[in-house]
């Protein structure tokens, strides 16, 4: 039997995006493309871009504060901060900077990296700390500034990505709102989507050399990633549904990582989920990696579309390759 308070409720959400917006017409002045070309292939119309002075910590903290406020908590009541990101301000970690920005001085804080699957992996990770009774209030943030690592001369990738942050507050509850999950990884497909370090040999003394260098911009095999997503994402959702003893007819919303509208539609079709139940905001923001799911969730909550007790299937997929699904109910 579960101990009292070992369930999970998701009690607050928040989001933040940079003020600067670049639409497809503007992007066509940088690279050989067009609004029609981008929109017909991806569904993306514009994306938000962080200016040179905007840090990931600031963007993440803005989304986090909104989530904490909606949860009616103070930052000092947060026990744990998980920051899902692939673009930290500091390779040693940015979650502690967010903790300081919020004044959440009681919270343990660390980064988690699973690329575009980061929020789903973070949701499951946060749940384990609550279910074991270690922490009561956990702040989970998905945030990325991918514009830092995009090759803006490569129209295959630069049209896809944008910057943003989203956050949720999870709290221990007698009623368990996290109904099931399923996580997967396959490193043999890592080469289809990565942001790899490229070392340059540096001679030290005698026959000793080390590798110093920088990270290469994002590279992606779009066709393979598309095939992977439309095949594996429905499978992992079906497994999560089975674990929760639910059918697709009992689902109120399908909330996928916002990568490509064609992927969203294909997954919905395979699962026989009506398109009006598929949440999509990528036309405005593009692919914001770990931020995409909580950013879309927060918008729907604040617009009153997602209501208390609604059942949501969410799934992330991306670099690693990683993918996973979770089923939860919104609210206390």
Per-residue pLDDT reduced to its tens digit, 279-332: 999 999 999 999 999 999 999 999 999 999 999 999 999 999 999 999 999 998
Helices (H), 145-291: 155-158, 222-244, 261-271, 282-285
- Tokens describing residue 66: 């909104």
In whole angstroms, give the CA distance from residue 221 to residue 232.
16
| Per-domain residue ranges of the chain | 7-175, 180-188+219-329
- Average the pLDDT over 198-213 and give the result: 90
Contact 47, 217 (CB under 8 A): no
Give the residue among 157, 298, 225 at the shortest CA–CA distance from 314.
298
- Tokens describing residue 332: 């206390």
Length of the chain, in residues: 332
**Domain 180-188+219-329 CATH assignment equals 3.40.50.2000:** no
The DSSP output letter for 275 is: G
What is the SS3 assignment for 108-170?
EEEEECCHHHHHHHHHHHHHHHHHCCCCCEEEEEEEEEHHHHCCCCCHHHHCCECEEEEEEEE
**Domain 7-175 CATH assignment equals 3.40.47.10:** yes
* E strand or H helix at 42: helix 35-42
Q: What is the pLDDT of residue 90?
A: 96
Distance of CA 242 to the CA centre of its chain: 24
Digit-coded pLDDT (tens) for 36-68: 999 999 999 999 999 999 999 999 999 999 999
Task: Say what the pTM is.
Answer: 0.95
3-state secondary structure (DSSP) of residue 72 = coil
Contact 325, 236 (CB under 8 A): yes
* Average pLDDT value for the chain: 95
Residues belonging to the active site: 116, 257, 287
Q: What is the CA radius of gyration of the chain?
A: 20
In whole angstroms, give the CA distance from residue 153 to residue 256.
28
Q: What is the pLDDT of residue 213?
A: 85
Strand blocks (E) in 53-104: 80-84
């Amino acid at each position: 039997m579960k101990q009292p308070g070992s369930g999970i409720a998701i009690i607050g959400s928040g989001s933040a995006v940079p003020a600067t917006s670049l639409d497809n017409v503007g992007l066509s002045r940088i690279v050989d493309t067009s609004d029609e070309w981008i929109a017909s292939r991806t569904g993306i119309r514009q994306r938000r871009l962080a200016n040179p002075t905007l840090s990931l910590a600031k963007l993440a903290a803005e989304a986090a504060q909104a989530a904490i406020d909606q949860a009616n908590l103070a930052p000092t009541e947060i026990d744990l901060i998980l920051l899902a990101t692939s673009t930290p301000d500091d390779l040693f970690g940015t979650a502690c900077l967010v903790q300081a920005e919020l004044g959440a001085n009681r919270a343990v804080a660390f980064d988690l990296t699973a690329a575009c699957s980061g929020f789903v992996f973070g949701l499951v990770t946060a749940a384990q700390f609550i279910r074991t009774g270690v922490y009561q209030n956990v702040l989970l943030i998905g945030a990325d500034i991918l514009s830092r690592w995009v090759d803006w001369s490569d129209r295959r990738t630069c049209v896809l990505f944008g910057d943003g942050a989203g956050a949720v507050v999870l709290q221990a509850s007698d009623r368990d709102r996290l109904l099931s999950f399923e996580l997967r990884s396959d490193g043999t497909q890592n080469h289809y989507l990565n942001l790899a370090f490229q070392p340059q040999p540096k001679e030290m003394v005698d026959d000793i050399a080390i590798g110093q260098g920088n990270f290469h911009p994002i590279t992606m095999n779009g066709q393979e990633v598309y095939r992977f997503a439309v095949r594996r994402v429905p499978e992992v959702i079906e497994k999560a549904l089975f674990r929760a003893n639910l059918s697709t007819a009992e689902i109120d919303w399908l909330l996928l990582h916002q990568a490509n509208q064609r992927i969203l539609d294909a997954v919905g079709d395979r699962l026989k989920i009506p398109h009006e139940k598929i949440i999509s905001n990528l036309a405005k923001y593009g692919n914001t990696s770990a931020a995409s799911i909580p950013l879309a969730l927060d918008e729907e909550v604040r617009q009153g579309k997602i209501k208390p007790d609604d059942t949501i299937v969410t799934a992330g997929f991306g670099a690693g390759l990683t993918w996973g699904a979770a089923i939860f109910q919104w609210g206390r």
